[in-house]
Amino acid sequence: MPPGTPDIRVIADRYELRSRISSGGMGQVWLGYDPILNRDVAIKLIRRDLTTPGPDAEELAERFKREAHVTAKFDHPGVPAIHDAVLDRAADGVYMVMQLVRGTLLTDIIARPGALPVSWAVSVAAQICSVLSYAHAVPVVHRDLKPDNVMVAVDGTVKVLDFGVAAVLGTDVTKLTSTGHIIGTRRYMSPEQIQAAAVSPRSDLYALGCILHELLAGKPPFTAEAEFQLMEDHMYRAPAPLRGLRAEVAPALEGLVLDLLAKVPHQRPDSAQDVYDRLVPFLPAPDPERTTEQRAQGPADPTGPYRRPLAPRPRPADKAAYTPTVLNLPPQPAAPAVPDEELQQARGHAAALVEEQRFSQASGMLEEVLARAAAVRSTSEPLVVGLRLVHALALFCDDDYGRALPEYEALVEVLEAVGPSRSEDALYCRRQAAFCRMELGDSEGALSEFEAVLDQMRQGLEERDEGVLEVRRHVGLLLQAVDRLRDAVEVLMPLYQDLLAEYGPGAPETAQVRDALVRIRLRTSRNPGTGRTTTRGN
């Protein structure tokens, strides 16, 4: 540090805090400097009371490391890159070091006099959809999407901020701190977040609906000053249709916003890609004569760069519709053999890497071996199946549920075809696939799979078996998530008694089910007609 320089706080023995940019509910954002790479950075300091040292300190460290690692997996120009994630034990602090973005916060754009052009509002929402489509495929759910966390850069690119921080802290604060705070902003918070229920990608879509409503109408859908009333409005009150507030809004655009603001998650659009598709008709036509340099000369205009590279992530390919392309190529030399010993060694090495929590390294190594083996061996050979099981586990442990799901589904087909000798392995893979679906936000698909798994497990296990209790809990909570509240109570009430007997009242599983039953009771008492009953299989 040059002589005469004022004392500058340094964190993690590297990053200098230069000046504070902003403060919020989760902490402060600082303009920082990285002397090793000679660049300015943005540093988010998480509030100390959210990471208070105590019995949960080790769990915090592991959760923070895992979630920061997962968040760093998706690369998109609409998300500031995460350069580092630091748990500074000496300072008892948590820091996120990110790319510094210069632009205008969406909050400030909304605050300008006059109504925003519809094309601007739609272009901002479309770019947010592009970001969400990539994030939700990981899956990473933002959990605190709001105008303060959206910036329009000078070239018109929309940046979604604080993805890493929101994913790290989440709403499951009981695992991080005893303060009892809920992370998020209630003016844009989904009903399920307010009720501390399961959060899914559709929770972000609800927040997007709040933002799009505000961009078009000049105010959020619910504006009560009292916090309790605001939460009540989000949970129970219907939003005002946009055309009553701004007549030029097209009926289809109004319908999209109302669908995004549905109270029950499964009644919202299925994905960010679906929302993007419904926004496309309202996007401005591309102007090939207008260059990037010309755009940058004027005020930040979000209508410019929305199409490419900011289109949403392609949907996963439909397995049933896939047919391999057959090319008329000259004969190729036979692929070299892959001996049994190599497959056995690869499995042992990969298992050791998984044990060391080096999941990405394990999956990458196995993909190379499996690709070579597929050229000369059947994918259903026992040794190959063993490798595929470890590969799926590595993806699953790495929270890469989008890639783990098709692996487990393919393994279910192979193992079930073998017969009863592999039935337990097939059931395990089906259960893993159901969990992947749940984490990816496919509540109805996960529920169907878990119900099928539970039926099989009950054929040989007691109701209070640890595995059966876990699957019963998933079924009950998913029934709640898809608004089958009466069915959920029928599952959760006896489950609660069994959890009390097996684990006691203080166990996290017991508390989760108890809280779910309380939320269902409160909701049904407020709206007696709430909660459809659906026959299993419909």
296 burial type by CB count under 10 A (0-12 exposed, 13-18 middle, 19+ buried): middle
User: What is the dihedral angle through the alpha carbons of 282, 283, 288, 292, rounded to the nearest 10 degrees?
Assistant: 160
The single residue listed with the structure tokens 């309380």 is 518
Report the distance separating Cα 254 and Cα 260, nearest Å. 10
The alpha carbon torsion through 325, 327, 331, 335 (nearest 10 deg) reads: -30
Phi, psi of 88 (to 5 degrees): -90, 95
**Residue 111 DSSP one-character state:** T
Query: Which two three-digit tokens encode residue 383?
Result: 């040794």
Instruction: Give catalytic residue positions.
Output: 144
One-letter amino acid for residue 2 of the chain: P
Burial environment of residue 19 by CB neighbours within 10 A (0 to 12, 13 to 18, 19 or more): exposed
Answer whether 411's CB lies under 8 Å from 429's CB: yes
CA angle, 172 as apex, 171 and 173 as ends, to 5°?
90
**Distance between CA 36 and CA 374 in Å, rounded?**
45
Closest CA to 353 of 342, 366, 341: 366
DSSP H or E stretch at residue 215: helix 201-217
- Rounded CA gap, 474 and 435, in Å? 9
Q: What gap in Å lies between CA 465 and CA 432, rounded to an integer?
A: 18
CA distance 152 to 165: 20
Three-class secondary structure of residue 439 per DSSP = helix
Distance, in Å, from the CA atom of 34 to the CA atom of 63, rounded to the nearest integer, reads 25
C-alpha angle 22-27-31 in degrees, rounded to nearest 5: 45
Crossing angle for the helix pair 423-439 and 382-397, nearest 10 degrees?
A: 30
d(CA 32, CA 10): 9
